[in-house]
Amino acid sequence: MISITYNLGISGDTTNELLKRFDIEAKARNPSVIIFSIGDNDSILIKSKNREMVPIEKFEDNLNRLIEKSKRFTKLIILLGCKKVDESKTTPILWEKSYHYTNKNLKLYNNNMTSSPP
């Protein structure tokens, strides 16, 4: 059996953007396995607005919606957790001084991901 893997990640995307394109991307490929590596960009702290890129409650809702959409294609759904960062290089991010990746936020989003209902 030939197995084809598609990396459909778009740099900078959050769960908001992924939700907008998920149905079209999945339908075009009819996947047998879906792997999500998402949440890092959602967790960005926007210092100038004193809030996250995607509030944790919205992230949880988006993630649950993505899982439900995925179930229409496969039962094999894998969620990869958020990655730790070197905060000396991500607070702030070089290309956007108001954006900060912090391990505290990444852990919060990661924990929320692992506690979301299937």
Residue-wise pLDDT for 55-71, tens only, equals 999 999 999 999 999 99
Under DSSP, is residue 34 helix (H, G, I), strand (E, B) or coil?
strand
Backbone angles phi, psi at 27, to 5 degrees: -60, -40
- Dmax (CA) of the chain: 51
- According to DSSP, the β-strands at 77-80 and 34-37 are parallel
pTM, entire model: 0.90
Per-residue pLDDT, averaged over 11-39, amounts to: 96
Residue 16 has pLDDT above 90, yes or no: yes
Q: Which residue has the higher pLDDT, 5 or 1?
A: 5
CATH homologous superfamily for the domain 15-115: SGNH hydrolase (3.40.50.1110)
- pLDDT beyond 90 at 48: yes
pLDDT confidence of residue 90:
97
The contacts of residue 11 (CB under 8 Å, 6+ apart) are: none
User: Tell me, what's the pLDDT at 113?
Assistant: 80
pLDDT at 116 over 60: no
User: Contact 38/7 with Cβ under 8 angstroms?
Assistant: no
Q: Where are the domains of the chain?
A: 15-115
